[in-house]
Copies of this chain bind each other. A is one copy, B any other.
Amino acid sequence: MTHPPTPPGRFPTPPPPRKRDAQSTREKLVRAALDLFTSQGYHETTTPQIARRAGIAEGTIYRHFSSKEQLLNEIYRAAARLFIQSIKDTSPTAPCRERLETIAKSWRTIAHYNPNAARLVFQSQIKPLLDPRSRETENELKSEIEKIIAAGKASGQVRVGSAETWAAVWLRVIALMLERTADKTWPPDQPASQNAIDAAWLAIAANQTTASAAPTTPPPP
């Protein structure tokens, strides 16, 4: 019962299409910055590089973004929104596992077609550079997943434990899958990818023999 993966739209969806060309400049800028930030890292990328790759003048960056950091945050949020939208596109009434799997697969499609967006959101060595608004967006993504998992817990599909924990666990495993998809290590139709999606679920699913290998003892002071 797959959602036929639909190729995700252009990224990032630029807010208000004003002049044809103005928008195009901003778009070129965003694309160039996204490429460079995700391939080289934020600090390793200079504004002259961005401008050169975008084919515009250095000063022009500041007609569209107030700073390099704001440019990063704007791109981050646009990318994160892509993934949040995927969540919202799933049926709220579907069973937990199915819904998570649908999300995972549509994220995978995004990562396949827009690897840099995936890298920015999930691989991100950029956490310390995010501004409050971006952190909010980041939290929104996490809490959407958390809500789904909380629902699954309520209906006994997810193991006991905090929904926050399971959301974090699930996201970590899915992040791995997305990174491997983004860097073309795992083609989307190969088993490794599906294995990871399954693993993410099994990590948090109920009804498994979970007898701990050993009881936990607190470490001494």
Copies of this polypeptide in the complex: 4
Distance, CA A207 to CA B211, complexed state (A): 14
Smallest Cβ-Cβ distance to A109: which chain B residue: B219
- Given A125-B126, A192-B161, does the pair A210, B202 have CB atoms closer than 8 Å? yes
CA distance A126 to B126 in the complex (A): 10
A212 within 8 A of B: yes
Chain A residues with CB under 8 Å of chain B are: 1-2, 4-7, 40-41, 43-44, 95, 97-98, 101-102, 105, 108-109, 112-113, 124-128, 159-162, 165-166, 168-169, 172-173, 175-176, 187-189, 191-205, 207-210, 212-220
30 sampled A-B residue pairs with Cβ under 8 A: A4-B217, A7-B220, A40-B128, A41-B128, A101-B212, A101-B213, A109-B219, A125-B125, A159-B195, A161-B192, A162-B192, A169-B173, A169-B176, A169-B199, A172-B175, A172-B176, A188-B216, A188-B218, A188-B219, A189-B219, A194-B212, A194-B216, A198-B210, A199-B203, A199-B204, A200-B203, A202-B205, A202-B210, A203-B203, A208-B208
